[in-house]
Amino acid sequence: MAPKFPDSVEELRAAGNERFRNGQYAEASALYGRALRVLQAQGSSNPEEESVLYSNRAACHLKDGNCRDCIKDCTSALALLPFSIKPLLRRASAYEALEKYPMAYVDYKTVLQIDDSVTSALEGINRMTRALMDSLGPEWRLKLPSIPLVPVSAQKRWNSLPSENHKEMAKSKSKETTTTKNRVPSAGDVERARVLKEEGNELVKKGNHKKAIEKYSESLLYSNLESATYSNRALCYLVLKQYKEAVKDCTEALKLDGKNVKAFYRRAQAHKALKDYKSSFADISNLLQIEPRNGPAQKLRQEVKQSLH
């Protein structure tokens, strides 16, 4: 006897979830679509269930690289249940894949109004800020669409929902990297840190290393989770011959990113200037394991080798 094909909304959604977990995204999408048709045919108003089905089908589209249909389904889900985190994140990912960075920024930012410690949204804001600065220039914020203000009632509703979304957020929080003060920087902090770091970079290009150090230091007060901010400040200390400070900053940078090539190179330079040739050689060796053809590092290794003998 052939197995009974699911026909209730709940059975169809459960079957879709199982296919999704098994990586069968097209089959899962079809099951969610059928569940939506059954639900709509019933005529009963169940916006939460309908929103979840659209959001789940959007996840299938995203996995299959069908970004436009993902955006369409997420928008339908959000029309039924505004300020739901999963469809916002999925739509942001689809916009990002299509290089519609202003729209992606708005969705990531909206998520962070609901919960300002969602890791994927914080990382998304970082990526979009970089992309928007590159494509639109320093005045990029003026060219963004308006960001919707999330009402407190929506935040309260969200916090009280014992849903899959809420479980997902709890999982995200458990994965977060914390600052030395055991505090995750808010979205606003991360953004301010990013802007200050970019200002520091501009000052370095102009040769104003003292002012750049001030900008990088201020950036680190807002968020000390970015390796590049430390390694950039280390460059300034090197130029100003403050070698011990350069070593400290490179060490902090490498704690955050063990493959930060610039941090290894700059710490090797600082160690060499301090006549700690053994430590300098060790840093260059580590760098060359990551980038064996790095010309400046090969040259520095030869110089340090001569000092060791």
Residues 218-236: tens digit of each pLDDT: 888 888 889 999 999 999 9
Q: How far is it, in rounded angstroms, from Cα 87 to Cα 57?
A: 10
Domain with 285 in it? 187-307
Which residue is it, tokens 């430390």? 230
- What pTM does this model have? 0.53
Residue 114 located in a structural domain: yes
What ranges in 145-276 are assigned the alpha helix state H?
152-160, 164-175, 187-205, 209-222, 227-239, 243-256, 261-273
pLDDT digits (tens, 9 = 90+) for 98-145: 999 999 999 999 998 888 778 888 889 889 988 898 888 888 888 888
Query: Do 142 and 247 belong together in one domain?
Result: no
Tokens in use for 94?
A: 């689809």
Residue 178 located in a structural domain: no
Residue 175 located in a structural domain: no
Tokens in use for 207?
A: 């040769």
What's the pLDDT at 45?
A: 74
Residue 34 belongs to domain with CATH number: 1.25.40.10
Tell me if 119 sits within 8 A of 138, measured CB to CB: no
Query: Do 92 and 30 belong together in one domain?
Result: yes
Q: How far is it, in rounded angstroms, from Cα 151 to Cα 260?
A: 41
Q: Is the dihedral of CA 282, 287, 293, 298 positive or negative?
A: negative
Residue 153 located in a structural domain: no
What is residue 5's DSSP assignment? P
The residue-averaged pLDDT of 281-305 equals 94
Residue 158 located in a structural domain: no
Among left, alpha and beta (phi > 0; psi -120 to 50; other), residue 137 is left
Last residue of a domain, one of 131, 146, 161: 146
